[in-house]
Chain A
Amino acid sequence: MTEKKHTEQKPVIEISDLKISFGKTAVLKGLTLNLYDGENLVVLGKSGSGKSVLIKCIVQLLEADSGSIKVLGQEMNGIKKENLEQLRMKIGFLFQSGALYDSMTVQENLEFPLKRIRKELNRNQIEDKVKEVLTAVGLPDTASKMPSELSGGMKKRIGLARTIIIDPLIMLYDEPTTGLDPITSDEISQLMNSIKKTYKTSSIIITHDIECVKAVADRIIMIDEGVLYKEGTLKEFEASKDPFIKSYFK
Protein backbone atom coordinates (compact mmCIF):
# COMPACT_ATOMS: atom_id res chain seq x y z
CA MET A 1 0.00 0.00 0.00
CA THR A 2 1.27 3.47 -0.79
CA GLU A 3 1.09 6.67 1.23
CA LYS A 4 -1.15 8.15 -1.45
CA LYS A 5 -3.63 5.33 -1.03
CA HIS A 6 -3.61 5.80 2.78
CA THR A 7 -4.59 9.44 2.52
CA GLU A 8 -7.76 8.30 0.75
CA GLN A 9 -8.54 5.57 3.28
CA LYS A 10 -10.18 5.91 6.65
CA PRO A 11 -8.16 4.40 9.49
CA VAL A 12 -9.95 1.79 11.61
CA ILE A 13 -7.45 2.28 14.42
CA GLU A 14 -5.77 5.63 15.13
CA ILE A 15 -3.11 5.78 17.80
CA SER A 16 -1.39 9.00 18.67
CA ASP A 17 1.34 9.80 21.18
CA LEU A 18 0.66 6.67 23.21
CA LYS A 19 2.65 6.43 26.43
CA ILE A 20 2.65 3.67 29.02
CA SER A 21 5.09 2.72 31.73
CA PHE A 22 5.32 -0.02 34.34
CA GLY A 23 6.76 1.41 37.52
CA LYS A 24 9.76 3.44 36.47
CA THR A 25 10.17 1.63 33.14
CA ALA A 26 8.68 3.53 30.22
CA VAL A 27 7.61 0.98 27.59
CA LEU A 28 5.86 3.13 24.99
CA LYS A 29 7.13 6.71 24.84
CA GLY A 30 4.80 8.43 22.41
CA LEU A 31 3.88 5.95 19.69
CA THR A 32 1.76 7.10 16.77
CA LEU A 33 0.33 4.80 14.11
CA ASN A 34 -2.76 4.06 12.05
CA LEU A 35 -4.32 0.81 10.85
CA TYR A 36 -6.22 1.25 7.61
CA ASP A 37 -9.28 -0.62 6.44
CA GLY A 38 -8.48 -4.01 4.94
CA GLU A 39 -4.73 -4.02 5.54
CA ASN A 40 -2.38 -6.34 7.41
CA LEU A 41 -0.05 -4.19 9.48
CA VAL A 42 2.94 -6.05 10.93
CA VAL A 43 4.62 -4.65 14.04
CA LEU A 44 8.27 -5.61 14.47
CA GLY A 45 10.60 -4.87 17.33
CA LYS A 46 12.90 -6.38 19.93
CA SER A 47 11.51 -8.36 22.86
CA GLY A 48 10.32 -5.92 25.51
CA SER A 49 9.90 -3.10 23.01
CA GLY A 50 6.18 -2.86 23.83
CA LYS A 51 4.58 -4.63 20.85
CA SER A 52 2.23 -6.82 22.90
CA VAL A 53 1.59 -3.91 25.26
CA LEU A 54 0.45 -1.90 22.24
CA ILE A 55 -2.30 -4.34 21.21
CA LYS A 56 -3.34 -4.88 24.83
CA CYS A 57 -3.80 -1.10 25.12
CA ILE A 58 -5.98 -1.16 22.00
CA VAL A 59 -8.45 -3.57 23.62
CA GLN A 60 -8.04 -1.89 27.01
CA LEU A 61 -6.57 -4.89 28.77
CA LEU A 62 -3.95 -2.33 29.74
CA GLU A 63 -4.65 1.32 30.34
CA ALA A 64 -2.27 3.82 28.73
CA ASP A 65 -0.80 6.64 30.80
CA SER A 66 -1.51 9.19 28.08
CA GLY A 67 -2.20 9.54 24.37
CA SER A 68 -5.18 8.65 22.26
CA ILE A 69 -6.49 5.37 20.83
CA LYS A 70 -9.46 5.50 18.49
CA VAL A 71 -11.02 2.24 17.33
CA LEU A 72 -13.63 2.53 14.57
CA GLY A 73 -13.79 6.22 15.37
CA GLN A 74 -14.42 5.74 19.08
CA GLU A 75 -11.98 7.03 21.69
CA MET A 76 -10.92 4.15 23.96
CA ASN A 77 -9.48 6.13 26.86
CA GLY A 78 -12.23 6.69 29.38
CA ILE A 79 -14.73 4.67 27.35
CA LYS A 80 -17.85 3.50 29.20
CA LYS A 81 -17.99 -0.20 30.12
CA GLU A 82 -21.06 -0.88 27.95
CA ASN A 83 -19.48 0.82 24.93
CA LEU A 84 -16.21 -1.05 25.49
CA GLU A 85 -18.09 -4.38 25.52
CA GLN A 86 -19.83 -3.45 22.27
CA LEU A 87 -16.54 -2.44 20.66
CA ARG A 88 -14.71 -5.57 21.83
CA MET A 89 -17.34 -7.65 20.01
CA LYS A 90 -15.90 -6.24 16.77
CA ILE A 91 -12.31 -7.14 17.65
CA GLY A 92 -10.74 -10.58 17.44
CA PHE A 93 -7.62 -11.20 19.52
CA LEU A 94 -5.39 -14.22 18.99
CA PHE A 95 -3.21 -14.82 22.03
CA GLN A 96 0.30 -16.23 21.78
CA SER A 97 -0.75 -19.43 23.57
CA GLY A 98 -4.19 -19.63 21.96
CA ALA A 99 -5.73 -19.11 25.44
CA LEU A 100 -8.30 -21.87 25.00
CA TYR A 101 -10.44 -22.58 28.05
CA ASP A 102 -8.96 -25.77 29.54
CA SER A 103 -12.16 -27.02 31.11
CA MET A 104 -14.19 -26.86 27.89
CA THR A 105 -14.18 -28.92 24.70
CA VAL A 106 -13.35 -27.24 21.39
CA GLN A 107 -17.08 -27.02 20.63
CA GLU A 108 -17.77 -25.32 23.99
CA ASN A 109 -14.78 -23.00 23.51
CA LEU A 110 -16.27 -21.80 20.23
CA GLU A 111 -19.86 -21.60 21.48
CA PHE A 112 -18.90 -19.73 24.63
CA PRO A 113 -18.41 -16.23 23.14
CA LEU A 114 -21.00 -16.80 20.41
CA LYS A 115 -23.86 -17.60 22.81
CA ARG A 116 -23.20 -14.44 24.77
CA ILE A 117 -22.52 -12.05 21.89
CA ARG A 118 -24.99 -13.31 19.28
CA LYS A 119 -27.98 -14.02 21.48
CA GLU A 120 -30.36 -14.06 18.52
CA LEU A 121 -28.87 -17.33 17.20
CA ASN A 122 -30.70 -20.59 17.91
CA ARG A 123 -29.09 -23.96 18.72
CA ASN A 124 -28.86 -25.09 15.08
CA GLN A 125 -27.43 -21.79 13.88
CA ILE A 126 -24.77 -21.92 16.59
CA GLU A 127 -23.80 -25.47 15.59
CA ASP A 128 -23.64 -24.46 11.92
CA LYS A 129 -21.42 -21.50 12.80
CA VAL A 130 -19.10 -23.74 14.83
CA LYS A 131 -18.82 -26.18 11.90
CA GLU A 132 -18.18 -23.29 9.50
CA VAL A 133 -15.27 -21.83 11.47
CA LEU A 134 -13.76 -25.23 12.24
CA THR A 135 -13.78 -25.97 8.51
CA ALA A 136 -12.31 -22.52 7.82
CA VAL A 137 -9.31 -23.29 10.05
CA GLY A 138 -8.95 -26.80 8.61
CA LEU A 139 -9.94 -28.74 11.75
CA PRO A 140 -13.53 -29.92 11.13
CA ASP A 141 -13.25 -33.08 13.28
CA THR A 142 -11.97 -31.61 16.53
CA ALA A 143 -15.24 -30.36 18.07
CA SER A 144 -15.35 -32.97 20.83
CA LYS A 145 -11.66 -32.76 21.74
CA MET A 146 -10.30 -31.08 24.87
CA PRO A 147 -7.54 -28.43 24.45
CA SER A 148 -5.06 -30.76 26.18
CA GLU A 149 -5.48 -33.21 23.29
CA LEU A 150 -4.42 -30.64 20.68
CA SER A 151 -0.95 -29.77 19.38
CA GLY A 152 0.42 -26.21 19.58
CA GLY A 153 -0.51 -25.48 15.97
CA MET A 154 -4.01 -26.89 16.41
CA LYS A 155 -4.52 -24.75 19.52
CA LYS A 156 -3.58 -21.66 17.51
CA ARG A 157 -6.05 -22.64 14.78
CA ILE A 158 -8.85 -23.21 17.29
CA GLY A 159 -7.91 -19.89 18.91
CA LEU A 160 -8.29 -18.32 15.48
CA ALA A 161 -11.62 -20.06 14.97
CA ARG A 162 -12.82 -18.67 18.29
CA THR A 163 -11.93 -15.13 17.24
CA ILE A 164 -13.50 -15.28 13.77
CA ILE A 165 -16.72 -16.91 15.00
CA ILE A 166 -17.94 -13.50 16.19
CA ASP A 167 -17.30 -11.97 12.72
CA PRO A 168 -14.78 -9.34 13.86
CA LEU A 169 -13.89 -6.28 11.81
CA ILE A 170 -10.40 -6.03 13.30
CA MET A 171 -7.98 -8.85 14.14
CA LEU A 172 -5.08 -8.49 16.56
CA TYR A 173 -2.50 -11.29 16.43
CA ASP A 174 0.01 -11.63 19.25
CA GLU A 175 2.96 -13.62 17.87
CA PRO A 176 0.78 -16.09 15.95
CA THR A 177 3.61 -18.33 14.73
CA THR A 178 5.91 -18.30 17.76
CA GLY A 179 6.89 -21.79 18.93
CA LEU A 180 5.62 -23.52 15.79
CA ASP A 181 7.58 -25.53 13.23
CA PRO A 182 8.16 -23.83 9.80
CA ILE A 183 5.43 -25.85 8.04
CA THR A 184 2.77 -25.10 10.67
CA SER A 185 3.94 -21.46 10.79
CA ASP A 186 3.41 -21.20 7.07
CA GLU A 187 -0.06 -22.78 7.39
CA ILE A 188 -1.00 -20.24 10.06
CA SER A 189 0.28 -17.39 7.87
CA GLN A 190 -1.81 -18.63 4.94
CA LEU A 191 -4.78 -18.95 7.26
CA MET A 192 -4.35 -15.32 8.34
CA ASN A 193 -4.40 -14.24 4.68
CA SER A 194 -7.45 -16.38 4.06
CA ILE A 195 -9.25 -14.84 7.05
CA LYS A 196 -8.45 -11.37 5.77
CA LYS A 197 -9.92 -12.26 2.38
CA THR A 198 -12.99 -14.14 3.61
CA TYR A 199 -13.98 -12.00 6.58
CA LYS A 200 -12.68 -8.66 5.19
CA THR A 201 -10.75 -7.91 8.35
CA SER A 202 -8.06 -5.34 9.09
CA SER A 203 -5.24 -6.76 11.19
CA ILE A 204 -2.33 -5.85 13.41
CA ILE A 205 0.19 -8.68 13.59
CA ILE A 206 2.89 -8.77 16.25
CA THR A 207 5.64 -11.13 15.21
CA HIS A 208 9.36 -11.88 15.14
CA ASP A 209 8.97 -14.45 12.38
CA ILE A 210 10.29 -12.91 9.15
CA GLU A 211 8.75 -15.68 7.01
CA CYS A 212 5.38 -14.78 8.51
CA VAL A 213 6.09 -11.08 7.82
CA LYS A 214 6.86 -11.88 4.19
CA ALA A 215 3.68 -13.93 3.86
CA VAL A 216 1.17 -11.54 5.41
CA ALA A 217 2.47 -7.95 5.55
CA ASP A 218 0.86 -5.17 3.55
CA ARG A 219 2.75 -2.64 5.64
CA ILE A 220 5.35 -2.89 8.40
CA ILE A 221 6.23 -0.68 11.33
CA MET A 222 9.23 -1.18 13.55
CA ILE A 223 9.25 -0.08 17.17
CA ASP A 224 12.42 0.64 19.07
CA GLU A 225 12.87 2.20 22.51
CA GLY A 226 9.11 2.74 22.72
CA VAL A 227 8.77 4.89 19.62
CA LEU A 228 8.21 4.33 15.92
CA TYR A 229 11.57 3.52 14.32
CA LYS A 230 10.51 2.96 10.71
CA GLU A 231 7.36 2.49 8.68
CA GLY A 232 7.14 1.10 5.17
CA THR A 233 6.38 -1.78 2.86
CA LEU A 234 8.13 -5.13 2.88
CA LYS A 235 10.15 -4.07 -0.17
CA GLU A 236 11.31 -0.89 1.56
CA PHE A 237 12.38 -2.84 4.63
CA GLU A 238 14.20 -5.46 2.58
CA ALA A 239 16.03 -2.74 0.64
CA SER A 240 16.96 -0.78 3.76
CA LYS A 241 20.64 -0.31 4.52
CA ASP A 242 19.98 0.50 8.18
CA PRO A 243 22.00 -2.13 10.16
CA PHE A 244 19.22 -2.48 12.76
CA ILE A 245 16.62 -3.28 10.10
CA LYS A 246 19.05 -5.43 8.11
CA SER A 247 19.60 -7.57 11.21
CA TYR A 248 15.95 -8.66 10.91
CA PHE A 249 15.90 -9.23 7.15
CA LYS A 250 19.33 -10.83 6.59
Chain B
Amino acid sequence: MKEFFYDFGSAFLFILHTFREAFSFKFEFREFFKQSYQIGIKSFALISITGLIMGLVLTIQSRPVLMQFGAETMLPAMVATSLIREMGPVITALICAGKIGSGMGAELGSMKVTEQIDAMEISSINPMRYLIVTRVFAAILMIPILVLYADALGIFGCWLGINMKGDINFVLFFSQAFGSLEFMDFLPAVVKTFFFGAVIGFVGCYKGFHAGRGTESVGIAANSAVVLASLLVIVVDVIAVQITDMLL
Protein backbone atom coordinates (compact mmCIF):
# COMPACT_ATOMS: atom_id res chain seq x y z
CA MET B 1 0.00 0.00 0.00
CA LYS B 2 2.88 2.33 0.92
CA GLU B 3 4.48 1.58 -2.44
CA PHE B 4 1.22 2.37 -4.27
CA PHE B 5 1.01 5.82 -2.66
CA TYR B 6 4.70 6.42 -3.32
CA ASP B 7 4.19 5.54 -7.00
CA PHE B 8 1.06 7.66 -7.21
CA GLY B 9 2.83 10.68 -5.69
CA SER B 10 5.85 10.17 -7.90
CA ALA B 11 3.68 9.97 -11.05
CA PHE B 12 1.79 13.12 -10.01
CA LEU B 13 5.06 15.03 -9.53
CA PHE B 14 6.27 13.68 -12.88
CA ILE B 15 3.20 15.12 -14.63
CA LEU B 16 3.60 18.49 -12.86
CA HIS B 17 7.30 18.57 -13.76
CA THR B 18 6.49 17.79 -17.41
CA PHE B 19 4.01 20.67 -17.66
CA ARG B 20 6.43 23.04 -15.92
CA GLU B 21 9.14 22.18 -18.44
CA ALA B 22 6.68 22.35 -21.35
CA PHE B 23 5.88 25.97 -20.60
CA SER B 24 9.44 27.06 -19.86
CA PHE B 25 9.80 28.76 -23.30
CA LYS B 26 12.64 26.43 -24.25
CA PHE B 27 10.60 23.92 -26.19
CA GLU B 28 12.62 21.36 -28.20
CA PHE B 29 10.72 21.71 -31.50
CA ARG B 30 13.08 19.56 -33.57
CA GLU B 31 12.78 16.59 -31.18
CA PHE B 32 9.01 17.17 -30.93
CA PHE B 33 8.64 16.86 -34.75
CA LYS B 34 10.89 13.81 -34.76
CA GLN B 35 8.75 12.14 -32.10
CA SER B 36 5.53 13.15 -33.88
CA TYR B 37 6.90 11.42 -36.98
CA GLN B 38 7.84 8.33 -34.96
CA ILE B 39 4.47 8.16 -33.21
CA GLY B 40 2.26 9.25 -36.10
CA ILE B 41 3.66 8.44 -39.51
CA LYS B 42 5.30 5.19 -38.42
CA SER B 43 2.01 3.96 -36.96
CA PHE B 44 -0.05 4.62 -40.11
CA ALA B 45 0.36 1.12 -41.57
CA LEU B 46 -0.75 -0.60 -38.36
CA ILE B 47 -3.65 1.82 -37.83
CA SER B 48 -4.73 1.46 -41.49
CA ILE B 49 -5.09 -2.30 -41.19
CA THR B 50 -6.76 -2.04 -37.78
CA GLY B 51 -9.22 0.66 -38.91
CA LEU B 52 -10.19 -1.14 -42.09
CA ILE B 53 -10.72 -4.47 -40.35
CA MET B 54 -12.65 -2.81 -37.53
CA GLY B 55 -15.24 -1.41 -39.97
CA LEU B 56 -15.35 -4.55 -42.07
CA VAL B 57 -15.83 -6.95 -39.15
CA LEU B 58 -18.39 -4.74 -37.42
CA THR B 59 -20.41 -4.65 -40.64
CA ILE B 60 -20.22 -8.39 -41.28
CA GLN B 61 -21.16 -9.19 -37.66
CA SER B 62 -24.02 -6.67 -37.45
CA ARG B 63 -25.68 -7.38 -40.77
CA PRO B 64 -27.49 -10.67 -39.77
CA VAL B 65 -28.96 -9.09 -36.62
CA LEU B 66 -30.20 -6.01 -38.47
CA MET B 67 -31.60 -8.21 -41.25
CA GLN B 68 -33.80 -10.01 -38.69
CA PHE B 69 -35.45 -6.68 -37.92
CA GLY B 70 -35.53 -5.59 -41.56
CA ALA B 71 -33.23 -2.73 -40.69
CA GLU B 72 -30.35 -3.50 -43.03
CA THR B 73 -30.40 0.05 -44.39
CA MET B 74 -29.44 1.22 -40.92
CA LEU B 75 -26.10 -0.54 -41.23
CA PRO B 76 -23.99 2.44 -42.46
CA ALA B 77 -25.40 4.73 -39.76
CA MET B 78 -24.99 2.16 -37.01
CA VAL B 79 -21.40 1.29 -37.91
CA ALA B 80 -20.40 4.95 -38.40
CA THR B 81 -21.89 5.94 -35.04
CA SER B 82 -20.27 3.10 -33.12
CA LEU B 83 -16.94 3.67 -34.85
CA ILE B 84 -16.81 7.40 -34.26
CA ARG B 85 -18.23 7.41 -30.74
CA GLU B 86 -16.50 4.39 -29.25
CA MET B 87 -14.83 1.67 -31.28
CA GLY B 88 -12.46 3.88 -33.28
CA PRO B 89 -11.05 5.90 -30.37
CA VAL B 90 -10.77 3.02 -27.90
CA ILE B 91 -9.35 0.35 -30.21
CA THR B 92 -6.91 2.79 -31.82
CA ALA B 93 -5.80 3.99 -28.38
CA LEU B 94 -5.31 0.41 -27.20
CA ILE B 95 -3.25 -0.42 -30.29
CA CYS B 96 -1.20 2.75 -29.69
CA ALA B 97 -0.77 1.88 -26.01
CA GLY B 98 0.83 -1.35 -27.20
CA LYS B 99 2.99 0.09 -29.93
CA ILE B 100 3.86 3.58 -28.66
CA GLY B 101 3.66 3.02 -24.89
CA SER B 102 5.94 -0.01 -25.02
CA GLY B 103 8.30 1.78 -27.41
CA MET B 104 8.66 4.75 -25.08
CA GLY B 105 9.05 2.53 -22.02
CA ALA B 106 11.73 0.40 -23.68
CA GLU B 107 13.63 3.29 -25.28
CA LEU B 108 13.76 5.46 -22.16
CA GLY B 109 14.39 2.42 -19.94
CA SER B 110 17.32 1.44 -22.12
CA MET B 111 18.65 5.02 -22.03
CA LYS B 112 18.42 4.93 -18.26
CA VAL B 113 20.23 1.57 -17.96
CA THR B 114 23.05 2.69 -20.28
CA GLU B 115 23.40 5.99 -18.37
CA GLN B 116 22.43 8.09 -21.42
CA ILE B 117 19.94 10.08 -19.34
CA ASP B 118 22.62 10.77 -16.71
CA ALA B 119 25.00 11.82 -19.50
CA MET B 120 22.38 14.25 -20.77
CA GLU B 121 21.87 15.71 -17.31
CA ILE B 122 25.59 16.19 -16.76
CA SER B 123 25.84 17.98 -20.12
CA SER B 124 23.38 20.54 -18.70
CA ILE B 125 20.65 19.27 -21.04
CA ASN B 126 17.34 18.92 -19.26
CA PRO B 127 16.18 15.32 -19.93
CA MET B 128 12.62 16.14 -18.85
CA ARG B 129 12.42 18.87 -21.45
CA TYR B 130 14.25 17.03 -24.20
CA LEU B 131 12.92 13.48 -23.76
CA ILE B 132 9.65 13.63 -21.86
CA VAL B 133 7.90 16.85 -22.88
CA THR B 134 8.51 16.17 -26.59
CA ARG B 135 7.21 12.58 -26.42
CA VAL B 136 4.15 13.37 -24.30
CA PHE B 137 3.08 16.31 -26.49
CA ALA B 138 3.76 14.35 -29.68
CA ALA B 139 1.45 11.61 -28.35
CA ILE B 140 -1.21 14.18 -27.39
CA LEU B 141 -1.09 15.61 -30.94
CA MET B 142 -0.77 12.40 -32.96
CA ILE B 143 -3.21 10.00 -31.22
CA PRO B 144 -6.29 12.10 -32.19
CA ILE B 145 -5.02 12.24 -35.78
CA LEU B 146 -4.53 8.47 -35.82
CA VAL B 147 -8.01 7.96 -34.35
CA LEU B 148 -9.63 10.15 -37.03
CA TYR B 149 -7.69 8.28 -39.70
CA ALA B 150 -8.79 4.92 -38.23
CA ASP B 151 -12.43 6.14 -38.13
CA ALA B 152 -12.26 7.12 -41.81
CA LEU B 153 -10.78 3.77 -42.82
CA GLY B 154 -13.29 1.96 -40.60
CA ILE B 155 -16.15 3.63 -42.45
CA PHE B 156 -14.52 2.71 -45.74
CA GLY B 157 -14.22 -0.88 -44.43
CA CYS B 158 -17.95 -0.78 -43.67
CA TRP B 159 -18.67 0.24 -47.28
CA LEU B 160 -16.54 -2.69 -48.47
CA GLY B 161 -18.38 -5.03 -46.06
CA ILE B 162 -21.79 -3.97 -47.31
CA ASN B 163 -20.68 -4.36 -50.93
CA MET B 164 -19.49 -7.91 -50.28
CA LYS B 165 -23.12 -9.08 -50.11
CA GLY B 166 -24.99 -6.18 -51.61
CA ASP B 167 -24.54 -3.12 -53.74
CA ILE B 168 -24.51 0.43 -52.50
CA ASN B 169 -22.77 3.33 -54.17
CA PHE B 170 -20.31 5.47 -52.28
CA VAL B 171 -22.40 8.66 -52.20
CA LEU B 172 -25.52 6.96 -50.90
CA PHE B 173 -23.46 5.06 -48.32
CA PHE B 174 -21.90 8.24 -47.02
CA SER B 175 -25.16 10.14 -46.91
CA GLN B 176 -26.65 7.27 -44.85
CA ALA B 177 -23.58 6.98 -42.61
CA PHE B 178 -23.17 10.67 -41.85
CA GLY B 179 -26.86 11.59 -42.05
CA SER B 180 -27.44 10.12 -38.64
CA LEU B 181 -24.35 11.68 -37.04
CA GLU B 182 -24.51 14.93 -35.11
CA PHE B 183 -21.74 17.26 -34.04
CA MET B 184 -22.13 16.05 -30.45
CA ASP B 185 -21.41 12.48 -31.55
CA PHE B 186 -18.15 13.71 -32.90
CA LEU B 187 -16.93 16.29 -30.35
CA PRO B 188 -16.69 14.22 -27.11
CA ALA B 189 -15.12 11.36 -29.07
CA VAL B 190 -12.38 13.65 -30.37
CA VAL B 191 -11.83 15.39 -27.03
CA LYS B 192 -11.28 12.10 -25.23
CA THR B 193 -8.59 11.06 -27.72
CA PHE B 194 -6.39 13.94 -26.50
CA PHE B 195 -6.64 12.41 -23.02
CA PHE B 196 -5.84 8.97 -24.45
CA GLY B 197 -2.73 10.51 -26.03
CA ALA B 198 -1.75 12.10 -22.73
CA VAL B 199 -2.25 8.82 -20.84
CA ILE B 200 -0.16 6.82 -23.34
CA GLY B 201 2.60 9.46 -23.43
CA PHE B 202 2.80 9.96 -19.68
CA VAL B 203 2.66 6.28 -18.77
CA GLY B 204 5.23 5.23 -21.41
CA CYS B 205 7.62 8.00 -20.40
CA TYR B 206 7.11 7.57 -16.66
CA LYS B 207 7.73 3.82 -16.75
CA GLY B 208 10.83 4.23 -18.94
CA PHE B 209 12.24 7.18 -17.04
CA HIS B 210 11.84 5.39 -13.71
CA ALA B 211 13.16 2.02 -14.88
CA GLY B 212 15.62 0.24 -12.59
CA ARG B 213 19.32 -0.11 -13.34
CA GLY B 214 19.50 -3.64 -14.75
CA THR B 215 18.71 -4.78 -18.30
CA GLU B 216 15.74 -6.72 -16.93
CA SER B 217 14.21 -3.36 -16.01
CA VAL B 218 13.87 -2.42 -19.68
CA GLY B 219 11.50 -5.35 -20.29
CA ILE B 220 9.61 -4.60 -17.09
CA ALA B 221 9.27 -0.92 -18.05
CA ALA B 222 7.95 -1.75 -21.53
CA ASN B 223 5.56 -4.37 -20.24
CA SER B 224 4.16 -2.31 -17.38
CA ALA B 225 3.79 0.70 -19.70
CA VAL B 226 1.51 -1.31 -22.02
CA VAL B 227 -0.54 -2.82 -19.20
CA LEU B 228 -1.03 0.44 -17.29
CA ALA B 229 -1.63 2.59 -20.39
CA SER B 230 -4.24 0.12 -21.71
CA LEU B 231 -5.98 0.02 -18.34
CA LEU B 232 -5.99 3.80 -18.03
CA VAL B 233 -7.35 4.21 -21.58
CA ILE B 234 -10.35 2.11 -20.53
CA VAL B 235 -10.73 4.08 -17.28
CA VAL B 236 -10.55 7.43 -19.12
CA ASP B 237 -13.11 6.11 -21.61
CA VAL B 238 -15.55 5.18 -18.84
CA ILE B 239 -15.18 8.64 -17.29
CA ALA B 240 -15.57 10.33 -20.69
CA VAL B 241 -18.72 8.33 -21.46
CA GLN B 242 -20.20 9.23 -18.07
CA ILE B 243 -19.46 12.93 -18.52
CA THR B 244 -20.86 12.92 -22.07
CA ASP B 245 -23.97 11.12 -20.84
CA MET B 246 -24.53 13.72 -18.13
CA LEU B 247 -23.99 16.66 -20.49
CA LEU B 248 -26.20 15.44 -23.34
Contacts and interface: CB of A to CB of B under 8 A. Distances in A.
Interface of A: 56, 59, 61, 85-86, 88-89, 91, 93, 95-97, 99-102, 112-113, 116-117, 162, 166
B125 interface: yes
B116 A100 contact: yes
A74 B92 CA distance: 52
Contact of A113 (B110, B114, B116, B123): B123
A85 B116 contact: no
A163 to B, nearest CB: 9
Q: Main SS of the interface on chain B? A: helix
A30 B125 CA distance: 31
B152 to A, nearest CB: 32
Interface string B93-123: 0000000000000000011001110111111
A170 to B, nearest CB: 12
B124 interface: yes
B124 to A, nearest CB: 4
B123 A102 contact: no
Interface residues of B, number: 13
A113 B120 CA distance: 8
A95 B123 contact: no
A35 to B, nearest CB: 17
A35 B120 CA distance: 24
A61 B122 contact: yes
A117 B115 CA distance: 20
B110 A117 contact: no
Contacts of A100: 116
A166 B123 contact: yes
Contacts of A102: 110-111, 114, 116
Interface of B: 110-111, 114-116, 118-125
A116 B124 contact: yes
A95 B51 CA distance: 46
A61 B121 contact: yes
Contacts of A99: 114-116, 118-119
A80 to B, nearest CB: 13
Contacts of B123: 88, 112-113, 116-117, 162, 166
Contacts of B118: 56, 61, 95, 99
Contacts of B116: 99-102
B119 A88 contact: no
B114 A116 contact: no
Contacts of B122: 59, 61, 88, 91, 93
Contact of A93 (B111, B114, B119, B125): B119
Contacts of A95: 115, 118-119
Nearest to B26: A116
A66 B120 CA distance: 26
Given A97-B114, A99-B114, A102-B110, A116 B125 contact: yes
Contacts of A97: 114-115
Nearest to A174: B115
Contact of B124 (A56, A61, A88, A96): A88
B159 to A, nearest CB: 41
Which 9 pairs from chain A and chain B are nearest by CB? A113-B123, A99-B119, A99-B115, A85-B124, A95-B115, A93-B122, A88-B124, A99-B116, A89-B124
Contacts of B125: 112-113, 116
A93 B122 CA distance: 7
Contacts of B124: 85-86, 88-89, 113, 116-117
15 contacts: A61-B118, A61-B121, A88-B121, A88-B122, A89-B124, A91-B122, A95-B115, A96-B115, A99-B119, A102-B116, A112-B125, A113-B125, A116-B125, A117-B123, A162-B119
Contacts of A91: 122
